[in-house]
Every structure is written in structure tokens, then in C-alpha cells.
Amino acid sequence: MGKRKLVTQSSGRRVSRASTRQAPSRSAGYIFPTPSRGFQAQMYHRQSPAQPRQPLPAPTGLKPYEVRLGQILSESAMAAITQSGQLTFHCVGDTGGINYPFAQQAVAQALEADMQLAHPPAFFYHLGDVVYFSGERAHYYPQFYEPYADYHAPIFSIPGNHDGDVAQGSSDASLAGYVENFCAVQPHRTPESQDVARDAMIQPHVYWTLRAPWVTIIGVYTNCPEGGYVDSEQAAWLEDEMATVPDGQALIVALHHPVYSLSGTHIGSQQMGNLLADAISVSKRVPDLVLTAHVHNYQRFTDVISGRQVPVIVAGAGGYWHQHRIMRDPKTHGPLKVPYSVDSHTTLESYCDDHHGYLRLIASPKSIKAAYVQVPNQRDPRGTRPKVVDTWAVDLVKHVVS
């Protein structure tokens, strides 16, 4: 996962095959996008003037920027979770249904249906890109509040690059709309919610930690440039937060930009791999699960870190209409068959790149279990229902993925 291997295995890059991008093709002075020359899951992303780093807003709470689930849920809801011995929650990113809202609506309806499960999800953890294209306040109602009006559970999140972008001519600072709707000092209805009875969330900063039964989720804000960017202050905070999570309790690290991705549109980020490698080295704590988005599909990798098997997930098919396809097999030029060995310690185990969907996760004292649910699209026959297309579990004692 970075320049020196996610903990001890080797120094050097985390890319497979070629590590360079093909130069844009030129014709009559125009530049056209071209696919990657090599087959790679990770690269170093050079910054573009069109995607500048944005300054972070001031925190609305105190360090270490933590929220306990019991601050949000009722005592009876927390008691039910404790008595059941498991915590169920949803997770996906890139949901904003701008222009073509059908996919976001399909995912939202499936999330709502899960509320009828024997152990319904306690919350939805959003992996960023809530609002397209530039975090505009006016888009929070059609892309966030209205689609989840019947989702009767809290929604937490980290911002994505589109949440942090600033529209040309806007007087708003980066993440102004996000802070208003997710980082309130006290719960209250914002103007953006209009007729939807959902209070603004009380996350203390745009990067923050959720403490819940059996699991801690550390959410990182990876800013706007392709490949992501995290400053030294936030990196030090991540190291400190990871160090506080003892072995035996599940540790999930969530960030918007992916560590690995075999999609030519958005290749995984060496910068994010380096960030995690450094955090693991300093904190002496290996995540049990890494959740990312940004790429509009689902990919599940298994990474071996200090002898532990760690799922590294891309879950960015939450509703934005344009989906990103997985690269073709470099040998057969056909669809990539899984499991596919990216390198000596990283394997692509599963993917879904032709339907939208979401993760359903269950944390318990000894495991994290997950199912990826694919939702029907407009090409499927009428009456097609959501279906589970991938399942996996992390054993928190043996540190293996099954």
C-alpha cells in the first residue's frame, strides 16, 4: 500500500505491471483521454490545475474529533444492539444522482427495504461524493435529503472530492454545504432539508472517528485532487486514532480515494497507500478493513499486511449514473477473471462493474461480515430484485478473510 509496503514486506511501489500512464493522444491541437498503457492497480497521481487542493474548514468540535454511536441512537436502540451481539450498518459512496437519479433511487429503495431485516442496519456510513458536482447547497435536497427521506436511520459520512470542490463563481468556501449538513454543533433542521424531517449530523470535523460497539471507524478526508491529499496534521491525527484502537476490537479506516483500483478511469492511489503504510508503521495497528469509494463500481481486494489478511474495498456505485468498468485481462483481452493476483501480496477477489449496489456489514466481537448487494437497473427485466453478489468475513482472532 505505498512506498515502503504496507508494513515491512518490501520497499518500493505498490503498482502492478507498468507504472506509467500513456501520454494523451493529440490531433490538431486537441487532447483526448486514452486508456492506461499498463495494467496496474495503483499509481502516483500528479496533480492537475483543474483539481486543486482545497483548504479545510475549521472543526466544529474538539480533538480528537470523535462521536460515540450512543450520542446519536436512543438508549433502547443501543441496548438492542448489545443484546443481539452484532451491529449492522450500510456503506457506499458516490451516491449523488444528478441528471439521472434512477440509480440512486434504486439503491435508496433497497437500503430502505433492509430496515425490515431481523437485525436492521443502525446507520448508513457514506464514503463521500454526497453532492455533485461541487458540493452546492442547492443540491443537498434533490441528491441527499429527498432520496433518503424514508431511510429511518442516521447517515454519517466523510466528504469526497466533489463535496469539496468549489463551483466557479461561488462565494462559498470549500465544504461549506457539507459542514452545515454534517458537522453541526447541535442537531437541527437546515434550510437544505426542506420538507424532510432529518436533522443535520453532528460530526466534529470533516475527518473524524465513530466509536461503536465492537468497531471503530476512522474517517479520513482525502481532499479534491485525483489520487487524494492529506496534510501532515490530519496524517498525525490518523496515526494517533489508530493507536488507540486495541487488538480485539475491529478497526475500519474509511477514505474516499481508493488505495487500489483496476479501473482505467480511476486507478488506485500510491499516495493513499503511503498514508496507510505510514499510519500502520507509527501506530503499530493494522486495520481490519479499509473502505474506499471514488470509483463507480465495486471491487474487493485482499491485502496481506504483517501476516494479516485485510479486505481493501472500493464501494463507489451508490447512485451516480456513470459507472466505471474494470480493465480487460491483459493476456486474453477478455473480462478479468477472479481471483486475480495483482502482486505477491494483493489479490482482486471480486468485482461488480455493471450494476449499482451497496455494502451491508455486520460487526460482532469476533468478526466483520459483509455482503455486497447489487440493485436492478433499467436494462433488467421488470420485477428483478436486489441480490447479493459477494459475501466475505474477516476473522478478528485469526486475521484471515473467508
CA angle 65, 71, 72 (to 5 degrees): 105
Number of H helices, E strands in the chain: 7, 20
Q: Are 27 and 282 in contact (CB under 8 A)?
A: no
State residue 164's pLDDT score. 98
Q: How far apart are CA 374 and CA 384, in angstroms?
A: 11
- 25-401 has which fold? Purple Acid Phosphatase; chain A, domain 2 (3.60.21)
- The pLDDT assigned to 39 comes to 83
Tens-of-pLDDT digits for all 402 residues of the chain?
Answer: 754 445 433 333 333 433 444 444 445 667 777 655 568 999 999 988 889 999 999 999 999 999 999 999 999 999 999 999 999 999 999 999 999 999 999 999 999 999 999 999 999 999 999 999 999 999 999 999 999 999 999 999 999 999 999 999 999 999 999 999 999 999 999 999 999 999 999 999 999 999 999 999 999 999 999 999 999 999 999 999 999 998 889 999 999 999 999 998 899 999 999 999 999 999 999 999 999 999 999 999 999 999 999 999 999 999 999 999 999 998 999 999 999 999 999 999 999 999 999 999 999 999 999 999 999 999 999 999 999 999 999 999 999 999
pLDDT at 14: 39
Report whether 63 contacts 207 (CB < 8 A).
no
CA-CA distance, 302 to 311, in Å (whole number)? 5
pLDDT for the residue 225: 97
Domain coordinates in residue numbering, the chain: 25-401
8 Å CB contact between 22 and 35:
yes
